[in-house]
Every structure is written in C-alpha cells, then in structure tokens.
Structure 1
Amino acid sequence: MPINDLLAASTVAASTLTGDRIVATVAAVVALAGAIIGGLALARPTSRSGRRGPAVAVGAGVAGALVGGLVVATADGGPGTGNGIVGGYAALVLGLLGALLGGLALARTRRIA
C-alpha cells in the first residue's frame, strides 16, 4: 500500500469531533478547573477557602491526569489523526498542576489546623 493512501486514511479534518477528541477535551477542561481551583485555594487565606477547595482541586486534577494519560496511552497516531493526543497531553499536564496546587493548599490547611 502506498504511503499516500496510509496518510490520507489516518488524518481527520481539524473541525471534526471524534470520540477521542471529545474525551480528551472534557479531561482537559476538568484538569483546567482543578488547576484554577487549586490556584485560588492556594492564593486565598485558609479560613476563607476551607478544605473543600483544595480537595476538589486534587480530585479534579487527578481525574484529568488519569483520563489524559489513558487517551495518550491508547492513541494510534499523532496530532491531526483524530485520536485526541493534544488534548490528552494538555489534560495530563494541567491535571498534574491542579493536583500539585491542590495538594499544597491542602497541606497548608492541615498545618494550620
């Protein structure tokens, strides 16, 4: 089989939403929410944010990182193939960031209490 046939069969238009792209996008949004909540919980005084914000940030970050890692591990090709690999990597990085920020804020609440 010629290489042109393989390349033509494996690419998807940039505007096409495949199942993998949707899963990766949702994971990236959840991970981004975790990173934002973790950053806000770390920036605010402990008495105002309590323990709920940091716990939500850790949970959302871990969930986003796990789903993003799963998308990256199961992807058949690179960017542009419709496998959601770019969103998977974004979810992986943002999820780890959210878990880290939430963990720091959670440790601060435990240290003060």
Structure 2
Amino acid sequence: MPVHLAAGYELGHGRLVPTLAAIIALVSVVAAIRALVRPHRPTALVALITALAAIVVGAVHGGNAAGGLGTGNGLAGAVVAVALGAIGLLLAGLALLRSTRKPVA
C-alpha cells in the first residue's frame, strides 16, 4: 500500500522498508552515544539490538533490490541503514565495554 506524500511521489514498499531501517539505525547511533556519555548498560543493549536489526534489514533489502541507485527500489536507504547500523554497532560495543569494565583505583 503506497503512501502518497506529494504530487507525483509515493513512498511504496521498496522505499519504506529501508527508510525505516535507516531510521532505526540512526536511533541506534543516538542510543549508543548516550550510553557512551553516561555508561548505562540497558541503553547500550538497546543500541546494539537496534543496530543489528538495521544491518540485517538493510543488507537483506539491498541484496534483493533490483536495479541501482536512483531507481526507486530503496537501495540508497538500505546502504544508509547498513552504514549507520555498523556505526551504531561499533559505538554500542564500546559502550558495553565501558559499562562492564571495573574502574581502576
């Protein structure tokens, strides 16, 4: 079911899924940064899980996308989702290491 946003443009299934995956990946980056600023294990776990979900959805959609960039199949959104998901995964891993490490006295 396409969503009509403006005249001549509709956000169909091909663009909606990777766009949502990219938004989820952005949420993972923000959550990981928050977990790094203030070490909080549950926030780091949320960042880790959302990053993994964004990477999987983006990779599956990117692998199944027909055509290249600019064809309206959502390949650009899938690439952004994987890239942001990887950043979120790295930052979440760092935040988890920071939250589990005991302070040196």
TM-score w.r.t. length of structure 2 = 0.85
Q: Following superposition, which runs of at least 4 residues in structure 1 exceed 4 angstroms of deviation?
A: none
Which residue of the partner structure matches residue 11 of structure 2? 17
> Matched residues, percent identical?
40
Q: Answer yes or no: is 1:35 the counterpart of 2:25.
A: no
Which residue of the partner structure matches residue 104 of structure 1? 94
- 1:15 CA drift (Å): 2.6
Q: Deviations over 1:21-65 (max 9, x none)?
A: 000000000000001110111122x2xxx2100000000111001
Structure 2 counterpart SS, 1:16 = strand
How many residue pairs align between the two structures? 97
- 1:110 CA drift (Å): 1.0
Structure that is richer in strand per residue: 2
Structure that is richer in helix per residue: 1
Name structure 2 gaps, 5 residues minimum.
1-7
RMSD (CA atoms): 1.7
- 1:96 CA drift (Å): 0.7
Match of 1:93 among 79, 83, 91: 83
**Greater Rg, structure 1 or structure 2?**
1
